[in-house]
Structure formats: C-alpha cells, structure tokens
Amino acid sequence: MLPFCIFVGSMFDVIKAILVGICASAPLGPVCVLVLQKTLNYGRNAGFVTGLGSSLADTLFAAVAVLAVAAVQKFIEDNSAIIMIAGGIIVIVVGISMAVRKSMDQQTRVNKVSARFPLQAFLMALSNPGALALMFALMLIFNIDASCDKLLTILGVAIGSTLWWMLITAVSDKLGRKLNFGTLLKINRIVGALVAAFGLWMLTKGTLDIL
C-alpha cells in the first residue's frame, strides 16, 4: 500500500509540474510571437522546434527554482539591469531580422527548419529576468516545495512546456495555411516591428535602471 501511495504522490507532483510548464509558456510575449512567426513562415515543424528553445529555457528556470533558489535569485536581482540590456539587444536584433525580410516562397515556408530557430527562442527566453520570477511564483502557487521529487518536477515542467508549443504550432499552422503569402509577409513585418519595439523597451529600462 505504501509504495502505491508514493507512486500516486509522485504522479501528482508530475501533473502539477506539467501545469507549471504550461503556465510558464502561455503568456503572450516576444517568444510566443517568434514561435508564431516561424510557424506562419516555415510551417509547423519550424514553429515547434523554435518553441523547444523556449522549453529548454523554462526547464533551466525550473531546475534553478528547485535546486538553488536563494543564491540564483539574488544574482538575478543584483544584475537585473545588465540582463535586461543584453536581452533587449538580442530581442531587437531578432525583431529587425524578422521585419526586414523581403520575400518568402511556399517551399521555404513548408520545409525549412534551422538550428538557429530554437537558439533564438532560447536566448530570448533566457534574457528575460521576469521569467525566473514567474517560475518561482508558479512553484509557490502549485505548492511545489523541497519535499517534491526534484528530477520529476524538472521533467514535468519540460513536458508541460513542450505540450503547449505542440498545441500552439498546430493551431497556428492550420490558420496560416488559409492565408496568402502577401498577407503573411505583412504579418511578418508587423510582428518583427513589435518584437523590436519590445526589445527597445527592455534596453531602455535596463539602461535607466543603471543610471
């Protein structure tokens, strides 16, 4: 009976961790916009691979939250302005590269998957100090503490985040196939401009915090 109770308790912890992973990925921000842009331009596989970059960052944040809360949280707080500036520069570069794209063809949209897609999402997610704070808050909300299995918690967050991007890319790919490429190009430029603007805000805020 005791082993069964332990098994049930562990599975419950995994379910909670999966929900944390979903909630951490769900907010609409530059990473989500980037995933949608890759899906619309290059297809579902490209969007999903991009999302995996964000999932990796969320998994690292989860590992930090359950393994080294106090030390890393202090480091983030002490260096938040520098992290914000570096993140702003990364986001601006990504946004501009999206906005200045001049053309795309159907073959590229459907088949292209590049290793830089998940790297872009990973760096973008990693450069957001608020993402780690959100992970701490979600751990608290779902009552995930030191008594929970750390490895299962980290694994659950990775699964939840991955499931979220599978859903988002599947839905956006179906919708994107109904749009013509002229419309997709306009969306691409608007999205790129928005991402760059968000990066400029991060850069400005970080600079003002230092000053």
pLDDT category, 155, cuts 50, 70, 90? Answer: very high
3-state SS assignment for residue 14: helix
Q: What is the DSSP letter of 27?
A: S
Q: Flag whether pLDDT at 8 surpasses 80.
A: no
pLDDT of residue 163: 93
Q: How far is CA 136 from CA 28, 119, 161, 165, in A?
A: 19, 24, 16, 21
* Alpha helices (runs of H) in the chain, residue ranges in sequence order: 2-25, 30-42, 44-67, 69-78, 80-99, 106-111, 116-126, 129-141, 150-176, 181-210
Three-state secondary structure call for residue 3: helix
pLDDT for position 106: 45
Residue 28 banded pLDDT, cuts 50, 70, 90:
low
Rounded CA-CA distance 38/5 in Å is 44
| Per-residue pLDDT reduced to its tens digit, 157-167 | 999 999 999 98
- pLDDT of 52 higher than 80: yes
Q: Which of 12-16, 66-70, 106-110, 195-199 reaches the highest mean pLDDT? A: 12-16
Look at 110 and 192; give whichever has higher pLDDT: 192
Which of 32, 4, 33 minimizes the C-alpha distance to 191?
A: 33
Condensed to tens digits (0 to 9), the pLDDT of residues 173-197 reads: 887 766 555 665 676 677 677 777 8
Q: Residue 37 above 90 pLDDT?
A: no
Q: What letter does residue 146 receive in the DSSP assignment?
A: T
Residues 6 or more apart whose Cβ sits within 8 Å of residue 202: 84, 85, 87, 88, 91, 127
- 113-132 mean pLDDT: 80
Distance CA 157, CA 167 (A): 16
Whether 5 shows a pLDDT value over 60: the answer reads no
pLDDT tens by residue, 54-107: 999 999 988 888 876 555 556 666 777 777 787 678 777 767 776 776 554 444
